[in-house]
Copies of this chain bind each other. A is one copy, B any other.
Amino acid sequence: MAATILVVEDEPAIQELISYSLRQAKHTVFSTKNAEEAMKIINEALPDLVLLDWMLPGMSGADFARMLRRAARTKDIPIIMLTARADESDKVSGLESGADDYVTKPFSPRELLARIKAVLRRRAPEAADDVVEIGGLRLDSATHRVTANEIEVVLGPTEFRLLHYLMTHSERVHSRSQLLDQVWGDHVFVEDRTVDVHIRRLRKALENVDKDGLVQTVRGSGYRLSAGQAVSAG
């Protein structure tokens, strides 16, 4: 959800407003007043999206958009054009130049954010309908369901993600820290012990379909999901 956005807008006031609200929404913002500088920034690192003013000193926004569209490296970056209300033909040429959407000034920060969200979502590859199946347990991310023998296992969001990760990386041992990074997200400050709790919740839910044995503890290392059962001698 949080993305890196390049804002190309010469009016300081609008520039300020946009940057502020984008940052407020957890996005990372780079901003410039003209196309030339924007180009430099893009050369450094590709943003996830470009907010481009239609009227710019020097190279116009439309021309800049077209340029981005022509270069292989930048042609897939979503572009949202900022146009002045008045003339409709601007919108037309704006979109023709390759923009994914446009927002007419004046606009509310809220609207801008909604548009950004929509464009980013549209660009994101349709979540592949991936279905994983291991040891008689089946997880379908499209329908967001986990079943075993036709019986559904009800899981909370975190347990679902955790199981998803374990299933797509089965047979391997994952330390608690690794799980926190992969399942909770990078740089999240949560106790290692919390993983235990979620593993516990996951196992409990799997007990209902007799599949709790799939989640195994590897003492001193972490956890592992494995179809091969852990046999305790004894």
* Residues A95 and B72 in contact in the complex (CB < 8 Å), given A156-B219, A219-B157: yes
Task: Chain B residues near A70: list those with CB within 8 A.
Answer: 95-96
Q: Which 7 A-B pairs have the closest CB atoms?
A: A71-B95, A208-B233, A157-B220, A154-B232, A144-B173, A70-B96, A143-B171
Can you list 30 A-B pairs, Cβ within 8 angstroms, ordered by A? Answer: A39-B88, A39-B91, A67-B92, A67-B96, A70-B96, A72-B100, A73-B95, A73-B100, A73-B101, A101-B187, A118-B177, A118-B181, A121-B177, A121-B181, A122-B181, A142-B171, A142-B173, A143-B172, A143-B224, A143-B226, A144-B218, A144-B221, A151-B231, A152-B228, A152-B231, A152-B232, A154-B230, A154-B232, A156-B219, A209-B233
Q: How many residues on A have C-beta within 8 angstroms of the other chain's C-beta atoms?
A: 59
Q: Which of A61-99 contact B (CB under 8 A)?
A: 67, 70-74, 88-89, 91-92, 95-96, 98-99
